[in-house]
Amino acid sequence: MGGRVQGKVALVTGGASGLGAESARRLAREGAKVMLTDLAAEAGQGVTDEILAEGGVAAFLSQDVVDEARWAEVVAETVARFGRLDVLVNSAGVGSGGQPILEATFEGWRRIVGINLDGTFLGVRHAAPVMAAQGGGSIINLSSILGKVGLPGAAAYCASKGGVALLTKAVALELAPAGVRVNSVHPGFIETPMVINVMRESENENEMRDMIISRHAMGRLGVPREIADAIVFLASDESSFMTGSELVVDGGYTAA
């Protein structure tokens, strides 16, 4: 029996670690051919090798998601290698250093917004025409609960992820007639290198961890598999009547 995304080709940015890496693994286990991209070439190739060792089909390309010319090359190379492009997971992103807005620099703001929002725009812009030409596809944009609620010290991150959520809705309306579905995923705090590093950089790592956990009704942080499962669902035909949707996977963080 085939997997839930058997025969599909998926491009996953930020595939070297965290949610991107786990999403790539899960998509491959469910039958997709996966192209992973990241700036961390050694780690990205390592994840690719794991997938290949498990019998999956995968390849790796180095990519800076704010480089538009590279986006064109990556999409073209994915199609050349695997024959089509059915799924784009815009997972590449960076977090905020917990800097108050009155101390924030324009350079820091532009870096976070550039990678998180501009990179997502470029992914949509270059993948959607290929999907439309072949009759459809699924674009999955990684937003965050901080694209729905605010957090002190994370203005740029919140703005970028809120932008991803509304970008998703706008392009979903535009691309629906072409059969291209576009949805966003909004994770709570997940045990990833990004979240762990933010905690380590705080004045009191244990205190910050306890505070963050306390804001989740389920009393724990999420694990990457729980977000990857949501991404597999959106990549599969199981979500065929979903577009422009926000899939919140946050342990109850935004329920209060």
CA separation for the pair 135, 181 (Å, rounded): 11
Angle, CA of 230, 68 and 91, to the nearest 5°? 15
CA separation for the pair 96, 104 (Å, rounded): 10
Instruction: Say whether 253 is catalytic.
Output: no
Alpha helical stretches, state H, 54-154: 68-82, 106-113, 119-134
Q: How many CA atoms lie within 13 A of 213 on its CB side?
A: 13
Helix (H, G, I), strand (E, B) or coil at 36: strand
Phi, psi of 150 (to 5 degrees): -90, 165
**DSSP secondary structure string, 207-223?**
HHHHHHHHTSTTSS-B-
Return the amino acid letter for 178: A
Catalytic-labelled residue, pool 71, 82, 157, 189: 157
Full strand arrangement of the beta sheet holding 180-187: 57-62, 33-38, 9-13, 87-90, 137-142, 180-187, 246-249
- Annotated catalytic residues are 157
